[in-house]
């Protein structure tokens, strides 16, 4: 057995065998864990990163440096692009998280995919949102902790020609909104939400209303979701800050000229907002075309 690691509060972390949800599970299946889902320190730090292919990003930028931070309690990945057979490899590469749950697309190989990695064992972990229409692409994982859920997501893109716009707005957004409303305790919903909510969330690009993520339909739909009693933590705490989480790889000077979009969010249900200490965009962490986002939550 490997030596026990220590958290920043000098307490020993568990070294139990990593539990993995290998993505082939259907949305109706639920993993009952043995843990109580309790964090014994404050703040609890929960991060999310769209890695745009974890195999591509692991040797770039600050990937392992960021993932290995001792004070990071829960780390979510979006767009891992992994197949089920790849998961054991990444269990071994990220051993600082004893409890790992991965969901892969079963509709298309090497596409989409999300994960939740935690130093504390959740009470339960659920794949999908109980909607077969949506749950074949590996886009949602929900981990239940003692006083909240963590919902890791990679929300569908409307497509370059907006071919999935109707599906995104009229089907996915409606069903996912209802899923969040059905949760029986407060939640932290985080990931690449593929939407620019306000003008401050994007650089001044012409014709943006016809671009996926910035159409009036998508922005209006996201507003309707927030109106259910949910809070965009970064914008709530930093109302005037123009900071971006994604830069187009097609624009070679995008980062240099700060021509970005804010597509990665951490949204909480209103009762949790009183515990939120800060919401961060780590725009100095490189590797993907997205930057990680992080929530600091008092315990």
Catalytic positions are 154, 192
CA angle 111, 199, 269 (to 5 degrees): 65
Would you tell me the crossing angle of helices 216-226 and 173-182 to the nearest 10 degrees?
10
Sheet containing strand 74-78, strands side by side = 99-103, 114-118, 74-78, 44-50, 293-297, 276-281
CA angle 116, 151, 35 (to 5 degrees): 60
Beta carbons within 10 angstroms of residue 284's beta carbon: 9
Report the C-alpha gap between 181 and 165 in whole angstroms: 23
Sheet holding 149-154, edge to edge: 30-32, 124-127, 140-144, 149-154, 187-192, 264-269, 230-232
Between CA 27 and CA 45 the distance in angstroms is 27
Give the H/E segment covering residue 55: helix 54-57
Spatial CA neighbour of 292 closest among 9, 113, 98, 74: 74
The sign of the CA dihedral 264, 268, 20, 27 is negative
What phi-psi label fits residue 52: left (phi over 0), alpha (psi between -120 and 50 degrees) or beta?
A: left
Residues 82, 104: contact at Cβ < 8 Å? yes
């Amino acid at each position: 057995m490997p030596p026990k690691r220590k958290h920043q509060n000098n307490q020993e972390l568990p070294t139990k065998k990593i539990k993995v949800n290998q993505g082939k599970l259907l949305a109706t299946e639920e993993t009952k864990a043995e843990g109580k889902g309790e964090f014994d320190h404050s703040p609890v730090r929960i991060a999310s990163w769209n890695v745009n292919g974890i195999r591509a990003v692991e040797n770039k930028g600050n990937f392992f440096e960021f993932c290995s931070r001792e004070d990071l309690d829960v780390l979510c990945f979006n767009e891992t692009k992994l197949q089920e057979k790849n998961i054991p490899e990444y269990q071994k590469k990220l051993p600082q998280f004893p409890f790992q749950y991965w969901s892969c697309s079963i509709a298309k190989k090497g596409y989409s995919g999300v994960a939740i990695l935690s130093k504390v064992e959740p009470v339960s972990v659920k794949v999908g949102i109980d909607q077969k229409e949506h749950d074949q692409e590996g886009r949602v994982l929900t981990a239940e902790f003692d006083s909240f859920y963590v919902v890791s997501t990679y929300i569908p893109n409307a497509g370059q020609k907006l071919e999935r716009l109707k599906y995104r707005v009229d089907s996915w957004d409606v069903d996912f909104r209802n899923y969040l409303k059905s949760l029986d305790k407060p939640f932290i919903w985080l990931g690449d939400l593929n939407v620019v909510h306000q003008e401050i969330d994007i650089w001044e690009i012409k014709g943006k209303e016809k671009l996926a993520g910035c159409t009036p339909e998508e922005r209006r739909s996201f507003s309707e979701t927030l109106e259910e009693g949910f809070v965009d933590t970064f914008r709530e705490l930093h109302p005037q800050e123009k900071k971006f989480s994604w830069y187009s790889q097609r624009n070679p000077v995008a980062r240099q000229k700060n021509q970005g979009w804010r597509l990665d969010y951490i949204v909480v249900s209103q009762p949790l907002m009183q515990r939120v200490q800060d919401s961060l965009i780590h725009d100095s962490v490189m590797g993907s075309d997205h930057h990680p986002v992080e929530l600091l939550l008092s315990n």
